[in-house]
Structure 1
Amino acid sequence: MNIKSQRDFFAGVLFCAFGVAFAWGATTYTVGTGARMGPGYFPMIVGVLIAIMGVAITLKALVVETEDGEPVGKIAWRPLIFIIGANLLFGLLLGGLPSIGLPPMGLIVAIYALTFVASLAGERFNAKATAILATILAVGSYLAFVVALKLQFPVWPTFIA
């Protein structure tokens, strides 16, 4: 069989791989039944659905004709590095890293850092727009997680609070 859309084919294969891995990981928990669901039931169903969606996308890539074969382009390293780095920085700042003496910096600082680093992934950087977005995200996260859900985690750096 001939691949008619490389992008869809590889996307479908990745969906299948992640879905199977997710479902397989869910088997380490008690799955239960539809009537008495265990903690692994929902992740198992989500993993299976993602894998099924991956199979459908892969089959579509093998059947539906495209004009140029939709080749996979080169990897966009800049966005990849900045987005992953922003998420790692968020986790590091939120919880701190005691092994190197970094105290938890809290939710607000972590969200500002996440927003500014992730915004560097694009082609254009606008500091004013990024600051406005970071403020909206910080206030919204504070209201949702601390006020509404009453989750207990540091909001401000430990040396301030």
Structure 2
Amino acid sequence: MKLASQRDFLSGIMFTAVGITFAVGATNYEVGQAARMGPGYFPLMLGILLAILGALVTLQSFRKGGGDGDPVGAIAWRPLLFVIGANLAFGALLVGVPALGIPAFGLIVAIFALVIIASFARPGASFKEAVILSAILAVGSYFAFVYALNLQFPVWPAFFTR
């Protein structure tokens, strides 16, 4: 069998691996049954669904007439590093990292950091656009999570609330 699409093959393998990982991880929680779902039921079903879809995409990559090979290009390191770094910064700023001496800066500061850092993933990104988007996302997140859903987590830095 000849590979018709490298992109489909590699993305199918990735989806399958992530789906299996989530499905196996979900078994650490009580799964329950369809009528009485436990906390592991939903991630288990999504993991299984993702693994099945990944297998179908992988098999589809061998179909003839799927293209001229769709070669996978070079890894886009800049977006990869900035987006992963933005997510790590968000988590660290939201709840803090006591082992590193980083206090919790809260939701608003974490969202501003997330959006501004992630904006650097795009060449030619505008700092002004990132700040405006951060403000809109911060206000929307505050109303959605704190006001509407009444979730309890720090919104502002701890040294502001004392």
Give TM-score, length-normalised by structure 1: 0.96
Counterpart of 1:10 in structure 2 is 10
Counterpart of 1:145 in structure 2 is 145
Q: Distance in 2 between matches of 1:100 and 1:134?
A: 26
Q: Is the 8 A contact 1:12 1:53 kept in 2?
A: yes
Q: CA deviation at 1:101?
A: 2.4
Quick one: which amino acid aligns to residue 96 of structure 2?
G
Q: Unmatched 5+ residue regions in structure 1?
A: none
Q: Is the 8 A contact 1:90 1:110 kept in 2?
A: yes
Counterpart of 2:114 in structure 1 is 114
Deviations 1:10-30 (A, max 9, x none): 000111111111111111122
Counterpart of 2:102 in structure 1 is 102
Counterpart of 2:78 in structure 1 is 78
| Cα RMSD, aligned residues only | 1.1
Q: CA deviation at 1:52?
A: 0.8
Q: Distance in 1 between matches of 2:92 and 2:47?
A: 28
Q: Is the 8 A contact 1:8 1:61 kept in 2?
A: yes
Alignment length (residue pairs): 161
Identity of aligned residues (%): 58
Counterpart of 2:135 in structure 1 is 135
Quick one: which amino acid aligns to residue 110 of structure 1?
A
Q: CA deviation at 1:68?
A: 2.2
Give TM-score, length-normalised by structure 2: 0.95
Q: CA deviation at 1:58?
A: 0.8
- After superposition, where does 1:8-47 map in structure 2 within 5 Å? 8-47=8-47
Q: Distance in 1 between matches of 2:82 and 2:143?
A: 27
Q: Is the 8 A contact 1:5 1:65 kept in 2?
A: no
Q: Distance in 1 between matches of 2:20 and 2:132?
A: 40
